[in-house]
Amino acid sequence: MMGFIWFWLVAIMIVGYVVLDGFDLGVGVLHLFLPQTERERRATLASIGPVWDGNEVWLLAGGGTLYFAFPLLYASAFSGFYLPLMIVLWLLILRGVCLELRNHIDVGVWRGLLDGLFGLSSGLLTIFFGAALANVLRGVPLQADGYFFLPLWTNWQPGVHPGILDWYTVIGGLVALVALTLHGALWLALKTSGALGHRARSIAKPLLAALIALTLASLGATITVRPASLDNYFKYPSTFIIPAGVVASLACIWIFNRSPLRPQPLKAFLASCFYLFFMLAGACWGLYPTLLPATTGSERDITLLRAISGPHTLAVGLAWWAFGMALAVAYVVFVYSKFRGKVDLQGDAH
């Protein structure tokens, strides 16, 4: 029972990070081309300025929860994925530096450089996060001791000894890029007004069409690469509500964003949050009770029972987790309520 609880607690942490930090990653991608004036660029950054660093706390909390509850998985994954994790770390640093320094350097060429690096690092992060999830779903070449090594790429084919990048993980990266860019566009439509808000709503339409196509492609690719991902759904047919939720959330994004006269940006943004929730919940349910599949044979899979900590540790940790999450949720509610409403485009100050 404790294993089941902690599996889904870790999943909640991951979903929380993707939903909250996902939109400011998407805003970073859009910052490359959507704003057309300096005032609009400042408004774009101001829409995420009060919350972006707090959103990234969920990534740290998720890693800490993983380390606490499933130390074998943490040790194996963070060792085998060392190269992409270092790339992600440097991209996070670069993104934060660009976001913080941009308005402190009043020189056009430096501001343009920081804008470009901010957008590039945001886009690469979305791709790496999507590819990372696809690597977990596909499996890795686990050795008998529970460790593995993945080169950046091999022959671009999933197999017994794949690379971090292959055709399947590239699809995963593209799904994440488009989904989080759409998430960011819907956030900008909610937080900005005038021409910028209108362009954000407009670009959401082709992004949604691309996301629908990529979602279908990723579903077919996942079934091809790992047919066992459907086992839990057929064993518990009521859980087909998860893919139904994916379809419903995509439909709601289209419905709430389509009208130019009476747009409903809040409902469209919440529908995007539900899309990300159902996609990640579906991926987790397709894996359960496996945490990290092995391409070298199912007997080497890192499963819930193999990786989980002791019962006393988990019981004590559950109390502290509840306390910490209460503080985190209270902080999120406070910050988002404090900075609710549209971004002010009228001021000239940085």
Number of domains in the chain: 1
Token pair 């779903």: residue: 137
- Per DSSP, the three-state class of 81 is coil
Q: State which residues form the domain around 219.
A: 2-338
Residue 345 has pLDDT above 80, yes or no: no
Q: What is the pLDDT of residue 210?
A: 97
In a domain, 239, yes or no: yes
pLDDT mean over 18-34: 94
In a domain, 215, yes or no: yes
pLDDT digits (tens, 9 = 90+) for 103-131: 787 777 888 899 999 999 999 999 999 99
Which of 223-227, 260-264, 302-306 is least confident? 260-264
Q: What is the pLDDT of residue 107?
A: 74
pLDDT digits (tens, 9 = 90+) for 178-217: 999 999 999 999 999 889 999 999 999 999 999 999 999 9
In a domain, 137, yes or no: yes
Residue 222 has pLDDT above 80, yes or no: yes
In a domain, 19, yes or no: yes
Q: What is the pLDDT of residue 261?
A: 64
In a domain, 350, yes or no: no
Residue 350 has pLDDT above 50, yes or no: no
pLDDT digits (tens, 9 = 90+) for 308-341: 999 898 999 899 989 989 998 999 999 999 888 8
Distance CA 127, CA 176 (A): 6
| pTM of the complete model | 0.93
Distance CA 268, CA 287 (A): 29
Q: Work out whether the CA dihedral 162, 25, 65, 273 comes out positive or negative.
A: negative
Q: Where are the alpha helices (DSSP H) in the chain?
A: 2-30, 38-48, 52-69, 71-80, 82-101, 108-138, 167-191, 194-225, 231-235, 241-258, 265-287, 304-307, 311-338
* Rounded percentage of the chain residues whose pLDDT exceeds 90: 67
Distance CA 97, CA 113 (A): 12
CATH number for position 259:
1.20.1630.10
Contact (Cβ atoms closer than 8 angstroms) between residue 260 and residue 172: no
| Confidence band, pLDDT 50/70/90 cuts, at residue 172 | very high
**244-252 contacts, C-beta under 8 A, 24 or more apart:** 245/274, 245/277, 245/278, 246/215, 246/275, 246/278, 246/279, 246/282, 248/274, 249/274, 249/275, 249/278, 250/208, 250/211, 250/212, 250/215, 250/275
In a domain, 349, yes or no: no
In a domain, 345, yes or no: no
In a domain, 346, yes or no: no
